[in-house]
Amino acid sequence: MAAPIVTPVTHVVFDVDGVLIDTEHLYTDIIQGIVGKYGKTFTMDIKVKQMGRKEPEAAKVVIESLDLPLTVDQYLQMSHEQQEKLFPSVELLPGAERLVKHLHKNGVPIATATGSHTQSFELKTSGQKDLFSLFHHCVLSGDDPECKHGKPAPDCFLLAAQRFPDNPDPSKVLVFEDAPNGVEAAHAAGMQCVWIPHKGINKETHRHLATLVLESLEDFRPEMFGLPPYDS
């Protein structure tokens, strides 16, 4: 099946984890630390299933996949304890700062849409407040009352579009994602999607749903989607 056709866009929505900030390896370490206490291994197959989902849903995927003797609340408490230690030092991923600042400078409306809840988002972005202040808004589907369903449902991306002042048609919105669930969500929302798969993910499973597949944000060329090109 052929990938969707590239057409010009006017607005851009970014996922956060694994696209803008380098948190996915931390999530893997935290989860393995939890499941390892019960002699279990957190595999890539499980990671793919839970990536991008609302936090309780992601926790449930891990618990049920590995038959852990934990409630969702118990699991999340253990996870949050480690997040508070590790997340404040999270760094930006290559190409993220350049692209976000470029789009903002050129007047392209930008937002984020993530499965995170407010507390987690603030922890992860605490060292990058200047960059995240450039976004028009951030949809945090983890505790946003208007976001009924997490990825792979399209809710968070549709909300992100609706919250721009001009409420663009979904076909004019470009999404950046790293998770297969996020690619599905963008496709379901009727948006084009640049997929930057997390290392170890099989690119062939969702290539037909992504408009473009890249190794890094550094490889993105804005003019391909009718956006202002980089100066150099």
The answer to whether 210 touches 174, Cβ cutoff 8 Å, is no
Which two three-digit tokens encode residue 117? 């809840």
CA distance 191 to 157: 8
Element (H, E) at 74: helix 72-86
Let me know if 15 is a catalytic residue.
yes
Q: Which of 15, 144, 155, 178 is catalytic?
A: 15
Taking the C-alpha atoms of residue 194 and residue 196, their distance in angstroms, rounded to an integer, is 7
Catalytic position from the list 17, 144, 155, 178: 17
Cβ partners under 8 Å of residue 59, min gap 6? 50, 72, 75, 76, 79
Which residues are designated catalytic? Answer: 15, 17
